[in-house]
Structure 1
Amino acid sequence: MSAATGPRPRHVTVDGRRVRHRVDGDGPPVVLLHGIGRTLRDFTDQHDLLARRFRVHSVDLPGHGGSLPLAGPCTLPALGRFVGHYLDAVGLDRPVHLVGNSLGGAVAMRFAATEPARVASLALVDSAGFGQEVTIALRLLALRPLARLLLRPSRGMARRTERAIFRDPAFVTDERIAYALEVARQPYAARVMRELVRDLGTFRGVRPQWREELLTEVARHDIPTLVVWGDRDLILPAAHLDAARERFPRARTHLFSDCGHMPQIERAEEFQRLLVDLWAAAEAGEATDRPVPTGAG
């Protein structure tokens, strides 16, 4: 299913702020969290596949897409707290399976570190938090004068962003470019992007302090975890998967061959199978220290 199809998302109020989300299916609860400057549309294919067996929540993070910004600055700790408040708002009182891409992976880990009892499993997709290296495009946003220039919405910038995200150019459609431009034109989009970039990193890359603290806290809780990466990721390099294996030695891992920053789109069906296998083991209370074989996607 393309990003332009599927049921229309609706809204819920979280801490007095409008949040856009999409909820479908029945079964164990799943929450899908997108990356920086993105929206719940990055999980459309997964939402549709998983809703056949699970209660799936796709959410626009605050200040992204159809969700209003937080009342205060948009930071990683604030987004972690938001996840808990969202679960409260929609009445989810049992542990949930969290899936996070890029920034969404760091948000999922932040929430899991704070409220591990509410997390049934973690699936981290080309996730922020495992290394300093990040695309120059995001590092430049840490420089105030350049940030204002680079965050001016333009079709050219939207096209370059989509091309950087996907390995297969067939996914860089006119519809995706147009939607990315629409999202960038939201009145709060540039401000929220600047707040997040400055919270997470500098021109030199992702800050080590929050990464070290977060990974240490998450590892302490031994939550069933899957970490996957695309081997041609231009945003966060696939070498970060090695760091994930070192920090989370019991996690399942998988490297998708000839794939970019969003395996959940470029390798939708295989990615979905990896999730379901993780969740079956987690629900059965099995150990997750048998890594998924690394190989082609």
Structure 2
Amino acid sequence: MSSGADRSTDTLLTVAGVRVRCRDTGDRSSPPVLLLHGIGRSLEDWEGLYGRLAPDHRVLSIDLPGFGLSERIAEKYTLESLARFILAALDVLGERRPVHLVGNSLGGAVAMQLSVLAPGRVRSLILANSAGFGREVILALRVLSVRPVGRRLLKNKSRDNAYRTERALFYDRRFVTEERLGHAMKVGANPGHDDVLLAVAHALGTFRGVRRGWRNKLLPAVAAQNKPTLVVWGAEDRVLPASHLDAARSAFPHARFAVFPQCGHMPQIEREEEFDSMVREFIGDVEAHS
């Protein structure tokens, strides 16, 4: 790999014997930012951030094991196993400095768990429509937590089903492009995708919603660290409702908060310019005051 602000390379890393896809952008000597996607997703969800952050940051993004184009891990899927895997991936990448963690949905929960496991490796938290702040979650994910029913549901690999899944993520249907549909079907064809999706859905939730146990344990542990934190939400999120912001405000009184109107589950895509500007400003403030 070359070094420099224009460097952008997708590569396959071997982490604990598992092949995972990583994108490594920007100058390795600059402060590191790590981007973590949501359940069933991939590093393409952060396309708008790479170029904007790369001039003055090392920007890393990883397909979580079993998602995107990454292989699955053999051990049981939990927030802790995912967070430990990401720490191991950072070691393979040679990045031992504290990172600015940006997580969407499941990626937000993994980011918080990583901060609890290794507080010295995390400089700040940016949580976009993050899991962990409430029980309510879209019916499709509640169904997936019931494995026999979820497995039958996932057998449908049609374009129509991919469209329904993508459509649930956005307030504006124009973001459900042919390119995104094609990529979603490619990701869904990952040999480990269905098993991992079911395992994660079951680990974190039930048919009634997101499990209370891990939420009640994780949030106080993160709050006690008092790390610089930015929590953002799309006001029209169909996956994790914006009402979860009330719990986030109670759990993290030290944090900054923002709501994007007419926006769904992925503000980094649907409000790309505003989201990127907010993240850059937040990270800049953290860098300036630490």
* Shorter-chain TM band: over 0.9
In structure 1, how many angstroms separate the alpha carbons of the residues matched to 2:76 and 2:65? 10
Q: CA deviation at 1:175?
A: 1.3
Aligned residue pairs, count: 281
- Indicate the residue corresponding to 1:78 in structure 2: 81
In structure 2, how many angstroms separate the alpha carbons of the residues matched to 1:69 and 1:145? 20
Q: CA deviation at 1:144?
A: 2.5
Distance 1:150 1:8, change over 3 A: farther
- What amino acid sits opposite 1:17 in the alignment? V
Output one character per residue of 1:231-260: Cα deviation in whole Å (capped at 9) or x when no partner: 000000000111111100010100001000
- Indicate the residue corresponding to 1:88 in structure 2: 91
Q: CA deviation at 1:74?
A: 2.0
- Indicate the residue corresponding to 2:250 in structure 1: 246
2:16 counterpart of 1:15: yes
2:101 counterpart of 1:59: no
SS in 1 for 2:165: helix
- Indicate the residue corresponding to 2:122 in structure 1: 119
- Indicate the residue corresponding to 2:280 in structure 1: 276
Structure 2 unaligned regions, length at least 5: 1-6
Contact 1:109 1:214 in 2 (8 A): yes
In structure 2, how many angstroms separate the alpha carbons of the residues matched to 1:238 and 1:265? 17
In structure 2, how many angstroms separate the alpha carbons of the residues matched to 1:52 and 1:44? 15
For normalisation by structure 1, the TM-score amounts to: 0.92
In structure 1, how many angstroms separate the alpha carbons of the residues matched to 2:73 and 2:48? 28
SS in 1 for 2:102: strand
Contact 2:8 2:25 in 1 (8 A): no
For normalisation by structure 2, the TM-score amounts to: 0.94
2:189 counterpart of 1:185: yes
SS in 1 for 2:95: coil
2:215 counterpart of 1:211: yes
In structure 1, how many angstroms separate the alpha carbons of the residues matched to 2:147 and 2:87? 32
2:269 counterpart of 1:265: yes
Contact 2:147 2:202 in 1 (8 A): no
SS in 1 for 2:33: strand
Output one character per residue of 1:119-165: Cα deviation in whole Å (capped at 9) or x when no partner: 01000000000000000010011222321111122211110011100
Structure 1 unaligned regions, length at least 5: 1-5, 287-297
Distance 1:172 1:8, change over 3 A: farther
Output one character per residue of 1:20-43: Cα deviation in whole Å (capped at 9) or x when no partner: 011111221000000000000001
Pairwise CA RMSD of aligned residues? 1.3
Q: CA deviation at 1:100?
A: 0.3
- Indicate the residue corresponding to 1:31 in structure 2: 34
Identity %: 53
- Indicate the residue corresponding to 2:205 in structure 1: 201
Contact 1:47 1:58 in 2 (8 A): no
Larger deviation, residues 143-152 vs 20-29: 143-152
- Indicate the residue corresponding to 2:144 in structure 1: 141
Distance 1:16 1:145, change over 3 A: closer
Match of 1:160 among 164, 168, 188: 164
In structure 2, how many angstroms separate the alpha carbons of the residues matched to 1:168 and 1:8? 31
In structure 1, how many angstroms separate the alpha carbons of the residues matched to 2:251 and 2:271? 25
Larger deviation, residues 79-88 vs 140-149: 140-149
In structure 2, how many angstroms separate the alpha carbons of the residues matched to 1:134 and 1:109? 19
Contact 2:9 2:25 in 1 (8 A): no
Q: CA deviation at 1:261?
A: 0.3
- Indicate the residue corresponding to 1:50 in structure 2: 53
